[in-house]
Amino acid sequence: MLAHFLNPAKSGLAHNLKRPLTLTKQLRAFATVDRNTPRVQPPPSRKRATPITHDRATFTIRDGPIFNGKSFGAKTNISGEAVFTTSLVGYPESLTDPSYRGQILVFTQPLIGNYGIPSADRDEHGLLRYFESPNLQAAGVVVADVAEQYSHWTAVKSLGEWCAEEGVPAVSGVDTRAIVTYLREQGSSLARITIGEEYDADQDEAFVDPEQIHLVRKVSTKAPFHVSSGSGDLHVAVLDCGVKENILRSLVGRGASVTAFPYDYPIHKVAHHFDGVFISNGPGDPTHCQDTVYHLRRLMETSQVPIMGICLGHQLLALAAGARTIKLKYGNRAHNIPALDLTTGRCHITSQNHGYAVDTSTLPADWKEYFVNLNDSSNEGIIHKSRPIFGTQFHPEARGGPLDSSYLFDTYLESVARHKTSQSTFQPDRDKRPSPLLVDLLAKDRVGVVPTTGMENLLRMGAAGEEAARAA
């Protein structure tokens, strides 16, 4: 099992692991190993940080209205896809959700920032207690009114200070009602935030479409990492397409240790070492992840392991099954969206953040719709008719949002436990728990994930990365 993870030729990570293990790392095999090695987050890089600015700011929608306001974040200009969220609370969690990578997030809640930004404390599993990833993920922030004075027992800084530290521009003093009305009528649109400059129509050509960029590649870990449960004997493989901390917490808190892999890892080659496979959320167009779709298709063809997908993971599961996905007009981003369970007739209030959905009319005969959105009738889940495989478009782990559907993690892990029991009948001596050596050698957090930058920079980085990949 260890060879699959650490041998680049076998794991498919040769392009990520250019250097062999050093003698020091090899000698670690003889060291005393602690299964519960804490996850240590390196000090954050402040290369993108700028002084907080209160200059004139312009929010421009391509081929649409222009809104003038005041900056309260970083002094930098960016371009991205403008989307809106109707969430009333949970802005630290939303802004650190990797699914928002490349997007300018417009809040419909009139006042944002009143309870500040909490610290980067970690819980007993080494997971971030208040954030969903180590960095602010949105490309930009737009609010009607920002609270520069905050009050909350967990707060250590203001929203403006955080945006400036993370190099993310933020605009206040604009009519977010007019912005949302436009986006609801026209759909999600390309937009720019310009700090300290007058709008120039000639710059329209500078708008960059995030759909041109493989965003999952930016937010996914570049090498496997491990999170120990500390209790329980289940071991789940997670395909990290931009996984949220609370998804990992929802698994390890229920007794399943997690080993997370890059989004394009050939998971079908190592699935027999695990009790279950999980596909995480993530940003952008699911059709960019063709390698992942292929690996999932091969996984379902060659293994009976239970599988669960959330958000983008749900869409990738559908693509691997043979269905198609569609882009929604303006998506669903809120903490109060009703989803109907078609197997029980019960309605759950769910947390959502997505711009794409599964076209259920293209599902194969051995799949059926699991959940449906009661607002727009879009698909919210699929389930295999005879195997323990399902996906949900909404977020059962929430953060923020209601936990009505968190029981789905219990449903998944119950199927994982049954699979483990059935496998032990044929292989009674097989133990799929992670070895202490594996736990010690693997990283304890995401590896090589680049913090968010303006979309122009992302596009250049993406083009350079693809050129380097072709050269390799």
Using CA atoms, how far apart are residues 465 and 469, in angstroms rounded to an integer?
6
* Burial class (CB within 10 angstroms; exposed 0-12, middle 13-18, buried 19+) of 134: middle
DSSP assignments along 233-261, one per residue: SEEEEEEESS--HHHHHHHHTTTEEEEEE
Cβ neighbors of 310 (< 8 A, separation 6 or more) are 247, 279, 280, 281, 391, 392, 395, 396, 397
Catalytic residue among 214, 268, 314, 395: 395
Query: Is 395 an annotated catalytic residue?
Result: yes
The 10 Å CB-count burial string (b at 16+, else e) for 234-272 is bbbbbbbbbbbbbbbbbbbbbebbbbbbbbbbbbbbbbe
> Is residue 311 annotated as part of the catalytic site, yes or no?
yes
Two structure tokens written together for 24: 């020091």
Q: Contact 3/10 with Cβ under 8 angstroms?
A: yes
CB of 438 within 8 A of CB of 228? no
**Residue 168: Cβ-neighbour burial (10 angstroms; 0-12, 13-18, 19+):** buried
54 is catalytic: no
Catalytic residue from among 311, 354, 380, 384: 311
Q: Return the exposure string of 374-406: e unless at least 16 CB atoms fall within 10 Å of the residue's CB, then b.
A: eeeebbbbbbbeeebbbbbbbbbbbbbbeebbb
Q: Which residues are tagged catalytic?
A: 311, 395, 397
